[in-house]
């Protein structure tokens, strides 16, 4: 019998819409007959009507209660886990609210604004014996799992470099202006936290996560950042990460590995949106290379290229069952972790979320990017 978990949805924006649509897909279509999902509560911070409209527009089956505030949502005794889909400027306060009410939490990425906030969330979850996970959905794709398995198998040798680019070529002034969350410092806007997290995800899941836990070591960081002239948020950030270990064996003569994580909202990694520019992700080892195609947050295929004479090039397509977006796989992971009594997911453990937030802290320090004190604060509760 499938283990069913009951979700409360905090916020009603685009990411929440995409997530709930995936929750409503039949798990059997993706061979997940062991878990199931119900949405039993939705909250908007602005009005109950907005939550009601969200429920009706998505056809969420009842019973599902609409709430006009987040306090009432987290107090609902029928909810097992809260999905925090607010801007990342608000994640710390919102996730703390849910944990304080005794709810398990899946919180959108970037997890928080800084590493200090992430550490407090993790410690709070530990103290309260509650599950907590950063919603880095890409990590739970079969494609990502397969790529990590290929690296661990040693098929492409010691992986010494990963290059990842998550960039969109937009007319920034016309499309984003100054108020949109993408460029608004009051909402922790900028390319780094919103898009750069995906480039860092690929660097970390290939050069860090593929090592045994006791061999994972944080990288040194060098970066360059270009501020958006109208708001000061970053419109372009490039990060060079140097890890003291290589993967998968780190031997017999340990080598350093390097990651290049790029993000930009003015030039595109895929200009014609047809893949003509080639892969946005290249994972390079001593015996070959893996190339990943499609947007880094939702790639659709990968190519394994062995060294000359070492085998055949192979292309692997990775589909999204039931015409889903791909968020159902992270939801399934949450369900299995709750079923098994786990407080964190092995696919996105707390220490790794903290390590990535520490990198982004250092990148912001080097680039001189700060956010308002209220959203950088570790004080809770604090009205935003």
Nearest to 239 by CA among 296, 137, 166: 166
Catalytic hit among 103, 109, 175, 217: 109
* 109 carries an active-site annotation: yes
Catalytic residues: 109
């Amino acid at each position: 019998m499938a283990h069913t978990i009951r979700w409360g949805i905090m916020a009603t924006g685009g990411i929440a819409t995409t997530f709930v649509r995936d929750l409503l897909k039949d798990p059997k279509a993706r061979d997940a007959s062991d878990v199931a999902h119900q949405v039993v509560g939705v909250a908007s911070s602005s009005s109950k009507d907005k939550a009601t409209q969200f429920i009706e527009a998505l056809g969420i089956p009842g019973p599902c209660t609409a709430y006009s505030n987040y306090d009432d949502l987290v107090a609902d005794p029928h909810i097992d886990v809260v999905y925090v889909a607010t801007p990342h400027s608000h994640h710390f306060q919102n996730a703390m609210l849910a944990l304080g009410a005794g709810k398990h939490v899946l919180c959108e990425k970037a997890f928080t604004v800084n590493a200090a906030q992430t550490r407090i969330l993790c410690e709070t979850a530990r103290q309260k014996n509650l599950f907590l996970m950063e919603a880095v959905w890409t990590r739970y794709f079969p494609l990502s799992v397969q790529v990590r398995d290929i690296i661990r198998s040693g098929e492409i040798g010691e992986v010494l470099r990963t290059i990842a680019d998550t960039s969109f070529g937009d007319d920034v002034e016309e499309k984003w202006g100054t108020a949109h969350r993408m460029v608004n410092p009051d909402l922790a806007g900028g390319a780094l936290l919103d898009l750069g997290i995906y480039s860092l995800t690929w660097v970390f899941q290939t050069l860090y996560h593929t090592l045994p836990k006791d061999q994972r070591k944080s990288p040194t960081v060098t970066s360059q950042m270009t501020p958006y002239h109208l708001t000061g948020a970053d419109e372009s950030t490039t990060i060079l990460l140097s890890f003291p270990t290589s993967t998968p064996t780190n031997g017999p003569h340990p080598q350093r590995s390097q990651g290049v994580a790029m993000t930009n909202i003015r030039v595109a990694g895929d200009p014609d949106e047809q893949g003509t520019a080639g892969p946005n992700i290249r994972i390079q080892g001593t015996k070959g290379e893996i190339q990943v195609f499609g947007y880094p947050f939702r790639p659709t295929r990968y190519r394994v290229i062995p060294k000359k004479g070492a085998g055949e090039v192979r292309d692997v397509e990775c589909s999204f069952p039931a015409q889903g977006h791909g968020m159902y796989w992270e939801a399934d992971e949450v369900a299995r972790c709750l079923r098994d009594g786990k407080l964190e997911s092995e696919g996105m453990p707390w220490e790794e979320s903290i390590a990535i937030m520490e990198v982004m802290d250092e990148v912001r320090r080097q680039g001189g990017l700060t956010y308002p004190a209220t959203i950088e604060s570790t004080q809770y509760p604090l009205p935003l």
